Structure 1
Amino acid sequence: MIRVTTRGLTFDVDVAGPEDGPPVLLLHGFPENRHMWAPVVPFLHAAGLRTIAPDQRGYSPGARPSEVEAYHVDELAADALALLDALGIDRAHVVGHDWGAVVGWRLAAHHAARVLTWTAVSVPHPAAFDTAVRDDPDQQRRSSYILLFRQQGKAEEVLLADDAARLRRLFDDARVSSARYVEPLREPGALTAALNWYRAYNRRVSGDPTPVSVPTTFVWSDGDVAIGPTAAHGCAAHVSADYRMVTLGGVTHWIAEQAPAALAGAIIDRTRSV
């Protein structure tokens, strides 16, 4: 792990793999951190890829501003670009899960010159998600938890009550060890910073219909409780470049931990397509 200071913030970043390998930027989501990629990166390294996995804004202790507005998606995307700059990387393959996918879609749509290929995991193009939330009762039900997460104070109280039982239960069905994710969020201010990603959410911006023009793979699992089939299958309409959808059967939202080889295979195939 190295610490990278940029934009007045200091990020904890895991950089590993062949030094001359094509760079792959790995962006985690909520409520995880850079450690979610641990089961996946050995496969990527074996394929000759170099990985860069940061704890993003709010998750790195040295990158935890207090203002909700500081967690706007454009700020998060700017962090990713600044990290690449700091590491001397002009263009990278980008992979993002959950909220990391939201950041990646922003990069792929608005900073395509910096993105070699794009692999989105679990969360589809924001316009596909926005349409599903608006029109599909099933997706509305799946996304209802966001209303709680946007409530300052109440969300923290609910999620941290009873030894953070609600946070821990997020991982129960996936049989994923929650300690590496939950314990860091119990540090003062950490959970609020992570939830500020939801609170800074703006449907007009986050539902941006701008199509993606870089080669794209979308990896979705049919056991995902957060993203239903309407949003998932609506993704293709918003990519103008080569597009692939990989559906993993019997896997929950936590794809990296439950199906690391399959996810790594999809990433490697995409990086080799250019």
Structure 2
Amino acid sequence: MSPREPIHLTNGRRPGGSDGTGEPILLLHPFMMSSYVWTDVAQQLADTGRYEVFAPSMAGHNGGPRNRSWILDSKTLADHVERQLDALGWDTAHVVGNSLGGWVAFELERRGRARTLTGIAPAGGWHRWSPVKYEIVGKFVAGLPVWLTARLLGERSLRLPGVRAAATVPISATPRGVTEVQLQEILDDVTHCPAYYQLLIKALLMPGLMELTETSVPTHLVVCERDRVLPHPRFSNHFRKHIPDIEKVTELDGVGHIPMFEAPQRVADLIIEWVDAHTPPVRQVEAGA
């Protein structure tokens, strides 16, 4: 499979370049995934005709730039995304991030690049020595055998007993939440992700999101009922405690850590509702004015 291309849609189709139409929405993917996770949601947002949607693959992930260092952190990821926003001519956007993408979304908000922020099961909700940080790192280290099997055997690994069930644990509530085609695409992302070890090494050395008290834009925290990677409430308490006057917390029932596969319409709807609620109405020009 070829490296992922960024998803860039306006009025339901890919534009030749940014034409400035519609509210800009930036979608940021989870750890080890790529822009692919947003395929259905991005299309549904663009089909409304009211938004311009951009979903890149971040550095160290499938389709993103290579990182020249042995370590990778959220600031480096945000640097790359910010350069792409500049290329699009977007000073700010409605930023939506899932898991690692949520962590990077908060970093972009700190830099003044967010109009609103939606964190879907965001990562980074810990201090330097928080037990939950070591728990999440341990979960991804425990997945090393599945990652190595996928690297060695490619799509053939999906035919091995138990691999499908193990592979979907960090993604969906049940193995049925991901189709065969989606699982093959996910496998391609996972096996083309040098960020796997680069980010885990850095995560052991750095704190999580420490500037949440400075968050100043409307913020929507979305938690997933059957999230087995960052289960609520242990991994969401940090956000609820430190974000000043958090406007909204939504729990998506019956979905796992990456709900865009299981419930793309529900995810699109909550983004639409949030963005529309925080977008000034367009002034209608009176006839003959």
Give TM-score scaled by structure 1 length: 0.79
Partner of 2:148: 157
Q: Once the 2 structures are TM-superposed, how far is the Cα of residue 14 of structure 1 from its aligned partner?
A: 1.4
1:201–1:264: structure 2 CA closer, same or farther, 3 Å change rule?
same
Q: Distance in 2 between matches of 1:43 and 1:132?
A: 40
Q: Equivalences for 1:1-40 in 2 at 5 Å?
A: 12-18=5-11, 19=19, 20-40=21-41
1:103–1:202: structure 2 CA closer, same or farther, 3 Å change rule?
farther
Query: Rg: which structure is higher?
Result: 2
Partner of 1:181: 186
Q: Contact 1:11 / 1:57 at 8 angstroms: preserved in 2? A: no
Q: Distance in 2 between matches of 1:230 and 1:185?
A: 26
Q: Once the 2 structures are TM-superposed, how far is the Cα of residue 160 of structure 1 from its aligned partner?
A: 3.0
Whether 1:218 and 2:221 are equivalent positions in the alignment is yes
Q: Contact 2:240 / 2:246 at 8 angstroms: preserved in 1? A: no
Whether 1:272 and 2:266 are equivalent positions in the alignment is no
Q: Contact 1:221 / 1:248 at 8 angstroms: preserved in 2? A: yes
Q: Contact 2:4 / 2:36 at 8 angstroms: preserved in 1? A: no
Q: Return the letter of the residue paired with 1:65.
A: N
Q: Return the letter of the residue paired with 2:35.
A: R
Partner of 2:70: 68
1:197–1:73: structure 2 CA closer, same or farther, 3 Å change rule?
same
For structure 2, the 5+ residue unaligned runs are 12-18, 279-289
1:79-106 per-position Cα deviation (integer Å, ceiling 9, x unaligned): 1111100111111010111111111121
1:104–1:60: structure 2 CA closer, same or farther, 3 Å change rule?
same
1:113-132 per-position Cα deviation (integer Å, ceiling 9, x unaligned): 211000111125x3x44499
3-state SS in 1 of match to 2:95: strand
Q: Once the 2 structures are TM-superposed, how far is the Cα of residue 267 of structure 1 from its aligned partner?
A: 1.1
Q: Contact 2:10 / 2:22 at 8 angstroms: preserved in 1? A: yes
1:83–1:142: structure 2 CA closer, same or farther, 3 Å change rule?
closer
Q: Return the letter of the residue paired with 1:75.
A: T
Q: Distance in 1 between matches of 2:274 and 2:10?
A: 18
Q: Equivalences for 1:1-274 in 2 at 5 Å?
A: 12-18=5-11, 19=19, 20-45=21-46, 46=48, 48-61=50-63, 63-69=65-71, 71-108=72-109, 110-111=110-111, 113-123=112-122, 126=124, 128-130=125-127, 133-134=130-131, 144-148=138-142, 157=148, 160-161=151-152, 163-164=156-157, 168=164, 169-171=166-168, 173-175=174-176, 176=178, 177-186=182-191, 190-201=192-203, 204-211=206-213, 212-228=215-231, 229-274=233-278
Q: Contact 2:70 / 2:198 at 8 angstroms: preserved in 1? A: yes
Partner of 1:4: none
| Aligned residue pair count | 251
Q: Distance in 2 between matches of 1:29 and 1:180?
A: 14
Q: Once the 2 structures are TM-superposed, how far is the Cα of residue 63 of structure 1 from its aligned partner?
A: 0.9
3-state SS in 2 of match to 1:42: helix
3-state SS in 2 of match to 1:39: helix
3-state SS in 2 of match to 1:83: helix
Q: Once the 2 structures are TM-superposed, how far is the Cα of residue 203 of structure 1 from its aligned partner?
A: 5.4
3-state SS in 2 of match to 1:220: strand
Q: Once the 2 structures are TM-superposed, how far is the Cα of residue 32 of structure 1 from its aligned partner?
A: 1.8
Partner of 1:7: none
Q: Distance in 1 between matches of 2:83 and 2:188?
A: 28
Give TM-score scaled by structure 2 length: 0.75
Q: Return the letter of the residue paired with 1:144.
A: G
Q: Once the 2 structures are TM-superposed, how far is the Cα of residue 241 of structure 1 from its aligned partner?
A: 4.7
3-state SS in 2 of match to 1:96: strand
